[in-house]
Amino acid sequence: MRVVIQRAGASHVSVAGNIVGEIEGGLVVLVGITHSDTPEVVAKMARKIGGLRIFNDDAGKMNRSALDVDAEALVISQFTLYADARRGRRPGYTDAAPPEIAEPLVDEFVRALKAQGIKKVATGVFGADMLVSIRNDGPVTIILEM
């Protein structure tokens, strides 16, 4: 599992011109699933993200977690996180899990974030052509892999 996390202000995702998920502020989490991922990996990643101290405390230091600040999350499935562009100019995506494996794990990831205490978890539409508007705060961008 590979994720790109961006600390964000108000962000949203739309499909065919309609907003399908939005947050007022918190985290935008782009999620890539690979063949070997399991529900256990997904749960571990959710715990990591919930406790990741990337929000500022009163002294301006990144010392607070999403749970500490009641952050919201916008989760977007993104198979292109497993792009392999080491050779040639067109990336290959064979490391990305097929939809029948990836979609249930992304759904489980959303449930796991909620179980960690993230009160609002919005999503895009799996497999859709989405337009994601991210107002990166900081900017803070973190890449995690399990």
Catalytically active residues, by annotation: 78-80
Nearest to 29 by CA among 18, 48, 38, 41: 48
What gap in Å lies between CA 140 and CA 136, rounded to an integer? 7
What gap in Å lies between CA 16 and CA 129, rounded to an integer? 8
